[in-house]
Amino acid sequence: MNTPVVLITGALTGIGRATALAFAKEGARIVIAGRRDEAGQNLVAELRRLDAEAEYVNADVRHEDDVRNLVDKTVARFGRLDVAVNAAGTEGKPGPVTEQSAESYAATFDTNVLGTLLSMKHELRVMLPQRHGSIINVSSTYGQTGAPGASVYAASKHAVVGLTQSAALEAAELGVRVNAVAPGPIDTGMLTRFTGTGWPSLDSTAQTHGQARRDCANDRVSRIRQGGFQHRRDFRCRWRQNCAIGIRTSVHERFKKKDSGGSAMARASISHIALTVSDLNRSAEFYDRIFKFMGYMPALVPESTEQAMKTQLKAWVGPGYSISIRPSKGDFAHRLHDLNAPGFNHMAFYAEDRSDIDAMYNLLKEIGAQVLDPPAEYPYSPGYFAVYFADPDGLKFEFAYVPGA
């Protein structure tokens, strides 16, 4: 299956449209769905100019007959369904809870939740007998939190996350992966309608939740495209329960607990695992075969990161975290927290808040742990703040706060 068959709902605008264009550039065969025929045919023409095989189907994801017909037409045209991106969504009626109604609730949930449910139902109807496939649902950072004036929208995106997690556990044993991406503020028509003016009014809303960043649709579709193209490993790796739930960075399940001193600590998700190798090119060839078999796909390491670390890096991305390798003779390996001999370099975890780094540092001092590097900023990305430490056997760990992660 060198040419995947990709179905995208909500494909006529925003993230859905950008996703269709990204898959077309990768050579996928694409079926786009929406409710505006003229816009649909125009997008198909644009995709075909990129040498992609593309078809448009008029479908309203709120109606099961439409969704069934959409999936059936996809299979009739291309013979199978490898990837489905469920991007159809609506912002609903922004406003306080006191202004919501049964009608505004239904208008939002029918598209965002029922539409996702019906789409997955019929996509899985095809993918489960195939014993392979990848479904990517578009949630939101509001699927993890709430926001003033966004109660119904946020509730609908929480529901999308729950649907995704449940479907992932049901489908994993049959070789089908179900994941979600959780974009922050994206410069699309939906954002403009939601805020009333677009970017000028975004700052106060975004900063309330620590989300003040200027993303665009094209910046997010790489995660969707990457998830979709993982089907090329033939799904020989059957994700177990935890691995099947590939909610991306902004939807990692981060919970708070109280330690013995009563202070709040972040129960962090894994950020990455780093290995040191003696020959970078030789190991890259080896791990590329191994990691691809397990479902990890090559990731491009930014040149700025390599410059900051003063060494070359190779990386692969899987469900929830990445694995990287670096040469043992890199200029950066002289640092105490790094490793200048082949082997396990370190494992890194995300902190939920910058203050958690200092709290971890205090805990390490309290229990007498070996601190390799105290809390400090590093030039890997803006605001990157981390502490490095070792366990009693000398295994190295990183606890890092990365704004926007």
The residue from 119, 140, 151, 250 that is catalytic is: 140
CB 93 within 8 A of CB 194: no
Same structural domain for residues 72 and 186?
A: yes
Q: How many domains does the chain have?
A: 2
What is the per-residue pLDDT for 109? 95
Give me the domain span that covers residue 79.
5-251
Same structural domain for residues 273 and 186?
A: no
The residue from 134, 139, 151, 153 that is catalytic is: 153
329 is catalytic: no
Same structural domain for residues 229 and 290?
A: no
Tell me, what amino acid is at 37? D
CB 398 within 8 A of CB 378: no
Tokens of 385: 């703040």
Q: What is the CATH number of the domain that holds 9?
A: 3.40.50.720
Rounded Cα distance, 168 and 173, in Å: 9
Per-residue pLDDT tens over the stretch 62-102: 999 999 999 999 999 999 999 999 999 988 888 889 999 99
Per-residue pLDDT tens over the stretch 224-236: 544 444 433 332 2
263 is catalytic: no
Choice among 176-180, 254-258, 332-336, 400-404 with the minimum mean pLDDT: 254-258
Same structural domain for residues 147 and 179?
A: yes
Same structural domain for residues 240 and 261?
A: no
**Spatial CA neighbour of 320 closest among 277, 300, 342, 349:** 349
The residue from 151, 157, 271, 296 that is catalytic is: 157
Final residue in a domain of this structure, among 251, 281, 300: 251
Same structural domain for residues 186 and 74?
A: yes
Q: What is the CATH number of the domain that holds 369?
A: 3.10.180.10
Same structural domain for residues 215 and 267?
A: no
Same structural domain for residues 337 and 191?
A: no
Say if pTM beats, i.e. exceeds, 0.85. Answer: no
Per-residue pLDDT tens over the stretch 44-63: 999 999 999 999 999 999 99
401 is catalytic: no
Same structural domain for residues 205 and 263?
A: no
Q: Residue 49: exposed, middle, or buried by beta-carbon count in 10 A (0-12, 13-18, 19+)?
A: exposed
Same structural domain for residues 16 and 138?
A: yes
Same structural domain for residues 82 and 16?
A: yes
Same structural domain for residues 370 and 271?
A: yes
